Amino acid sequence: MATLVLLRHGESEWNVKGLFTGWVDVNLSAAGEEEAARGGRLLLEAGVRPDVVHTSLLTRAIRTAQLALEAADLLWLPVERSWRLNERHYGALQGKDKAQTRAEFGDEQFMLWRRSYDTPPPPIADDDEFSQFADARYAGLPKELRPKTECLKDVVDRMLPYWYDSIVPQLAAGKTVLVAAHGNSLRALVKHLDNISDADIAGLNIPTGIPLRYELDSDYKPTSSGYLDPEAAAAAIEAVANQGK
């Protein structure tokens, strides 16, 4: 038995504005900072004590982990970071308004780009103001690994090596692992854990700032899972699903 906790970052400045974000490195909103701290308090109240933390390379996940750990009096925990936990790269949609995109391209195309398993948005140009092509944090990453767009399937493919190589060994050693990441990188992990079909994953949304606890068996398959605040999670899931409407 091992415990895994997934935490989507708190509300970001671009979540508030309704913009496609992806790899653009926006900060948390003031409400997002509070959500992150509340996430930490929920861990404390539930008696869930992580031994190690993983985050993406993006500020909103890094700060969420930090604020949650501070609230749980666990700032001293070891933290590991990887681009493999980054949000899905949203391609040429990065920086675009979700409601405007929906109005321009129609409901069906909007939802295909947003939630289909294998339809990526158009790729972003290297000189686009919202491209991460020249971002120093990816300088060590071979060019062929740096995405210009991603569908969820691409995220599953780049996230799973990190799951198997970095997270599973810690679970195997009996550690409780906290992963602070993003709506779509966590959808990729939940798809894997819960064995959700390519079609059904379109209907899964992850709320910001509410820890999702998994108990895993010796094959790292869930024996149980649930949000630490199920009522708040249900309302927040609905809000994510309705973005762009």
Q: What SS3 state is found at 210?
A: coil
Catalytic annotation on 238?
no
Question: Cβ of residue 243: shortest distance to ligand 2PG, in angstroms?
Answer: 5
Mark residues 92-131: x for contact with ligand 2PG by CB under 6 A, - for none: ----------------------x-----------------
What phi and psi values does residue 213 have, to the nearest 5 degrees? -95, 135
Helix (H) or strand (E) holding 3: strand 2-8
Catalytic annotation on 87?
yes
Question: Are the beta carbons of 32 and 25 closer than 8 angstroms?
Answer: no
91 binds ligand 2PG (CB under 6 A): no
Taking the least distance from each CB to ligand 2PG, the nearer of 49 and 137 is 137
Counting Cβ atoms within 10 Å, is residue 84 exposed (0-12), middle (13-18) or buried (19+)? buried
Binding part of the chain for ligand 2PG, among 18-26, 27-35, 164-172, 195-203 by CB under 6 A, reads 18-26
Considering only the C-alpha atoms of the chain, give the largest distance between any 2 of them, rounded to a whole number of Å: 50
Count of residues in contact with ligand 2PG, rule CB under 6 A: 11
In angstroms, the CA 88 to CA 95 distance is: 14
Binders of ligand 2PG among residues 49 to 88 (CB under 6 A) are 87
Q: How open is the CA angle 210-223-215, to the nearest 5 degrees? A: 45
In the complex, which residues of this chain contact ligand 2PG (CB under 6 A)?
15, 20-22, 87, 90, 114, 183-184, 240, 243
In the annotated binding site, the residues are: 8-15, 21-22, 60, 87-90, 98, 114-115, 183-184
Active site residues: 9, 87
